[in-house]
Structure 1
């Protein structure tokens, strides 16, 4: 069967909705929702991703996913049979649902890893580097993330999901993620018991200490709730978007590489190999001398401060 990635049709919609939200914000007094230089920087990152993504798709979908599927699901008497002994999955409607659920589970751990492993964070921080939260920010994607993302999904064709089905599931996930980047959609009641919504994604993009590394889910929030990373938006907290170690530049190349440069500089702070490896593969904020803190350390300190002073409602990360 031949399936087209939904993103082929999504890109024109992305542009249309960005322009619609931009126009609405400017005509309704929200002049600071979009900043022109920031929007152009996000657009440049998005264009780069759009150019690179099809090239990577050839490697991921045709080579990696296809090879993995063929290797773990060889033809046995004309039937695709998984090496575990069962017949590989077909295209029944429930298989599509299971594939989408498997995709969301994978996306959760892929996304969480991007926040908890510094070398991956260096690629992903591009998406969080804007101080604005809007549909323009949704296309502000790091180019290097595309290179290793397929590796997280290889298990899906390995257990029997057809490669093209996995690609479609990835496209659907990306479409959902795009539309989450809007402040104009309020809390959605019962929908928020199951799905990842706009207010939850506002939490994810916030640099408030209590919001850091929360809500990694794709279109569902069940895995955040299962694994302890879910956080609801508190109406009493003034949300501050972006990252404290921002690139402070609208230059796409600076936005793309600044965290890698910081990693390189940090590895030179200690001669010990273990320290160097931690600066690369440890959590962001880790330091051998305690001069900076990880998210968990910041949140632990924040909770201690809040116990002493309940009025503490907002703190920025180190």
Structure 2
């Protein structure tokens, strides 16, 4: 069974909503919400992702997901059966819900590792590199993330979910993530007990030390609550957006590659191969001489104050 990725319909809506928010901000005394050069860089990142994504998703859907699905779910007597013994999943409504929930669980860990492993952070930092928080920032996506993201989701077709279903659930997740990037929706009461909301995602994009590496969830915030990364927005604190080590450039190439360059320069600081490994695959901010700090180290110091 074939389905159309919902992002195909989402992209025109993204552009329309960005234009609407931009126009609204300029006419309602919030002229600093957007910077045209920053927006231009974000849109360039988004267009690049839109061009590259279909090529990579062809590989992930047709080659990776389908190969994994066929390998772990062979047909036995005309019935597709998982190697663990159960019948592979169909397209019943409750299977769709289960797939979306498991997609959300996978997204949490995929997103969290993008913040925990510096080599992955080098790709993901693109999305956080703007000091603006608006719908334009939502499409500011790193191109290199597309190459490894499917690897986190391989387990879903492996246990029996049809590859087309997984792709659709990934698209739905992306649609939800887009609309979170606005400051015009405040706290939502009881909804915040379960779902990842706009104020929670503002925390995620903040560079205030207390907010760093928080709220990695997709639809739900339950995984952040379970695994200790949930943080509520404190409206009495002035929030600052962006990253602690920003590219300070609107040049798309610099935005895309600056962290990879920094990794390369840092590996030259020591001849010790363990140090080189940690500069590449350890947490961002790790240093062999404590010249820079990880988020955990900064937050521990903050608690001592």
- Tell me the TM-score range normalised by the shorter chain: over 0.9
Number of the residue aligned with 1:308: none
- SS, match of residue 299 in structure 1: helix
**1:192 correspondence with 2:192:** yes
The separation in 2 between residues aligned to 1:214 and 1:83, in whole angstroms, is: 37
After superposition, what is the alpha-carbon deviation per residue over 1:70-111, rounded to whole angstroms, capped at 9, x for unaligned?
000000000000000110001110000000000000000000
After superposition, what is the alpha-carbon deviation per residue over 1:263-293, rounded to whole angstroms, capped at 9, x for unaligned?
0000000000000000000000000000110
- Number of aligned residues: 305
Q: Tell me how large the CA RMSD over aligned residues is.
A: 0.3
Number of the residue aligned with 1:313: none
Number of the residue aligned with 1:149: 149
- SS, match of residue 143 in structure 1: coil
Number of the residue aligned with 1:316: none
- SS, match of residue 51 in structure 1: helix
**1:22 correspondence with 2:13:** no
The separation in 1 between residues aligned to 2:88 and 2:41, in whole angstroms, is: 44
Q: How does 1:259-270 map to 2 (within 5 A)?
A: 259-270=259-270
Number of the residue aligned with 2:8: 8
Number of the residue aligned with 2:44: 44
Number of the residue aligned with 1:304: 304
Number of the residue aligned with 2:255: 255
The separation in 1 between residues aligned to 2:57 and 2:254, in whole angstroms, is: 26
CA shift for structure 1 position 56: 0.5
- SS, match of residue 94 in structure 1: helix
Gaps of 5+ in 1: 306-318
Q: How does 1:1-318 map to 2 (within 5 A)?
A: 1-305=1-305
The separation in 1 between residues aligned to 2:259 and 2:199, in whole angstroms, is: 27
- SS, match of residue 230 in structure 2: coil
The separation in 1 between residues aligned to 2:304 and 2:182, in whole angstroms, is: 33
CA shift for structure 1 position 7: 0.2
Structure 1: which 4+ aligned runs deviate by more than 2 Å?
none
CA shift for structure 1 position 2: 1.1
- SS, match of residue 20 in structure 1: helix
CA shift for structure 1 position 244: 1.8
The separation in 2 between residues aligned to 1:237 and 1:70, in whole angstroms, is: 52
The separation in 1 between residues aligned to 2:57 and 2:260, in whole angstroms, is: 25
Gaps of 5+ in 2: none
The separation in 1 between residues aligned to 2:232 and 2:5, in whole angstroms, is: 32
